[in-house]
Amino acid sequence: MSARHVLVRTTAGVGIAAGLALLTRPGQVVARLAPGYPPDRLWIVRLLGARLVGQHAAVLAVPRPPVLRLAAGLDLLHAATMLPLVGSTRYGRAARISGGVAAAYGAWASRA
């Protein structure tokens, strides 16, 4: 197994773990990372977690360039949707964290 293949699979595993944390424990994750995030919007955090689990499971199952490009595109799109929120008092910190991680993964996956 090549180093690239190991890196892709490891990154996908981390993405699944992060998604599971958001899906199953959104309140705890948000309290630690973005305490100003409104509790009545935790359903959005769960939705993001579900997307991450599905996306990274697909990458783990089929770590080929077309799947990586699709995953990169989804993350770059997510990062772009966070841009209008980065200055928000309520959502800014969560948007910067979520958008920043998505932009980094999207940029990495598009080259992997």
Taking only the tens place, the pLDDT of each residue in 56-105 is 999 999 999 999 999 999 999 999 999 999 999 999 999 999 999 999 99
* Nearest residue to 31 via CA among 13, 22, 106: 22
Model pLDDT, residue 65 = 93
Tell me which residue has tokens 């699979």: 9
**Structure letter (DSSP) for residue 86:** T
pTM: 0.92
Q: Are residues 75 and 103 in contact, defined by beta-carbon separation less than 8 angstroms?
A: yes
32 CB-near residues (< 8 Å, 6+ apart): none
Q: Are residues 46 and 55 in contact, defined by beta-carbon separation less than 8 angstroms?
A: no
